[in-house]
Amino acid sequence: MTLYEPVGKMPEPEASAGFVPSHSEDAVAQQLLRPLFDADRETLLIAGFDAFDRLVRLERIEGDATGRCIVPPRCWRALLDRGIATVIMAHNHPSGVASPSDADIDATQEAALLLRAFDIDLVDHLIFVELGHFSFRTAEML
């Protein structure tokens, strides 16, 4: 009997594949990003680093009345004008569910394309909850 692999799009990895418990978070996640989130409101952070992995700029965008975080063009300009080499995006889910929504996946892909056009690497997009965070990089979704 011959087993054939299906042709087409590869299935998305499970959300649990990208989950990092809070006790295993690296210093950037645990000490820089996590303290900046409110427990009851969604917030988006965009951290820009230079070629030596030094933090150059940190943009914080508060969620609107619907809970969505929209990145204004001025935030991207502020990052791009600083000569950054890499970016980490992070936001929280006050609901406690770390799995990325379709909007999170779309926003990550759009940000990666935008940054790639400027030769900037989107290192990761993290979704924080109380018990840890989801990493797009760890889940191999970047």
Strands 43-49 and 55-62: what pairing? Answer: antiparallel
Name the band, by pLDDT with cuts 50, 70 and 90, for residue 7: low
- Domain-embedded: residue 88: yes
Say if 20 falls within a structural domain: no
Answer whether residue 23 is part of any domain. Answer: no
Region 110-121 average pLDDT: 94
Residue 93 belongs to a domain: yes
pLDDT above 50 (res 14): no
Q: What is the CATH number of the domain that holds 82?
A: 3.40.140.10
The average confidence (pLDDT) of the chain is 86
3, part of any domain: no
Q: How many domains does the chain have?
A: 1
The parent domain of residue 88 ranges over 45-135
Residues 77-111 have pLDDT tens digits of: 888 888 899 999 999 999 899 999 998 999 999 99
Kindly report the pTM of this predicted structure: 0.84
Cβ–Cβ contacts within 10 Å for residue 19, how many? 19
